[in-house]
Structure 1
Amino acid sequence: MPTKTYTTIQGDMWDTVAYRVYGNEYLMTDLIDANPRHRNIVVFPAGIQLSIPEIESPEPMTLPPWKRGGS
């Protein structure tokens, strides 16, 4: 399976990229970990290509036990 990538636009920040690709800015840590070469960038210039790791979505704890997956 090919690796997903995201090409930054001027002014992107880690949290905005995470929100654009995952719909959740709190997953920016996963992006930073997948792109250690760029970890010191706060505000991105245009044209930086970032690797977008596959994130497994946790099941919401608001689901009743019989609707949760598991063994």
Structure 2
Amino acid sequence: MAHLIHTTIEGERWDLISWRYYRDVRQVPQLIAANPHAPNAPVLPSGLRLRVPLISRASVTQALPPWRRGDA
């Protein structure tokens, strides 16, 4: 699967990374699964290189309720 590399900064969290790349914090489990070397901790250490899987926009928006998709 294609991915980007993200290097963490001091105080960064999984949910912030998920929001930055996907605009959806529900993608945190996917980020954690793609990075078995990373600690599953509330705050990540700085300088950690993480894989950020590229996912289709459709897979993100289909998981949203209709009123959030913009098709309602």
Structure 2 match to 1:25:
25
Runs of 4+ more than 3 Å apart: none
- In structure 1, distance between residues paired with 2:9 and 2:38: 15
Cα contact 2:18–2:25 (8 A) shared by 1: yes
Amino acid across the alignment from 1:51: R
TM-score in terms of structure 1 length: 0.71
Q: Secondary structure at the match of 2:50?
A: strand
> Kindly tell me: are residues 2 and 54 of structure 1, through their superposed partners in 2, closer, same or farther at Cα, counting changes over 3 Å?
closer
Structure 1: stretches of 5+ with no match in the other structure: 65-71
Instruction: Give 5+ residue unaligned stretches, structure 2.
Output: none
Bigger mean CA deviation after superposition, 35-44 or 16-25: 35-44
**Residue in 2 that maps onto 1:45:** 45
TM-score, scaled to structure 2: 0.70
Q: C-alpha root-mean-square deviation of aligned residues, in Å?
A: 2.2
